[in-house]
Amino acid sequence: MSVLLGIDTGGTYTDAVLLDEERGVIGTAKALTTKHDLSEGIQSA
């Protein structure tokens, strides 16, 4: 089973999606983008 993680750090929100290649999307998350430190927004998502 392969699982992929996609992260989009946009201007307002940071979005994350967890995708199983066989089952499709298995999780999503959204958090405010922290422009001063993008890693904070990624951790929150």
Q: Residue 42: enclosing H or E segment and its boundaries? A: helix 38-44
pLDDT at position 37, please? 84
Q: How high does pLDDT run on average in the chain?
A: 89
Quick check: 31 pLDDT over 80? yes
pLDDT at position 42, please? 78
pTM, 2 dp = 0.75
CA distances from 27 to 1, 5, 19, 35 (A): 15, 10, 7, 24
Share of the chain above pLDDT 90, in %: 53
* Residue 44 banded pLDDT, cuts 50, 70, 90: confident
How do the domains of the chain map onto residue ranges? Answer: 3-37
Quick check: 30 pLDDT over 90? yes
